[in-house]
Every structure is written in structure tokens, then in C-alpha cells.
Amino acid sequence: LAGGIALYNYVHDANTWIDPFGLTGTYMFTDGTDWYIGKGAKDRMYTSMKQRVGGKANVTQGIHVDFGDNKIGL
């Protein structure tokens, strides 16, 4: 390699281009009793809410992490 062994010098900050924890497209919600965790776009989260707890109105806490790509982030 022409760049030597310091491969991390090719980009300013490699962590900004990846999703190291794999959280993009991940959602979590609860109805106060059980927690549900899934992966997908917001539409999929709302479908899951409807099937599992009867809709968004019954969710007491919820989050959806999305950086625009459900596979790798950003």
C-alpha cells in the first residue's frame, strides 16, 4: 500500500461514515408493560405498534433511530 500502515489517515473521521452499533432503522416502544424492539422504517414501526399494542395512542414511550438507510447508516 502506498499509504503505509496508517490507513486511518485517509479519512477525517471514519466513525461518521458508518453506524458502528447498527442502530439505524431500529425502533423501540412500550405500552407500559412490555417493550418491543424492531428494525425498519417508520412505517414498519407504526405497523408494529398497531399489531402489538393497538396503535400509537397506546404507546407510553418510543424511539426510532434512522440516518436514512436501514442497512448501514447515513
Cβ-contact 1, 43 below 8 angstroms? no
Neighbours of 49 (CB within 10 A): 21
Whether the per-residue pLDDT at 2 is higher than 50: the answer is yes
Residue 73's pLDDT is what?
43
Domain ranges of the chain: 7-65
Q: Each residue of 21-45: pLDDT tens digit?
A: 766 788 999 999 999 999 888 899 9
User: pLDDT band at 74, cuts 50/70/90?
Assistant: very low
Cβ-contact 40, 70 below 8 angstroms? yes
Query: How many percent of the chain have pLDDT more than 90?
Result: 45
Whether the per-residue pLDDT at 5 is higher than 80: the answer is no
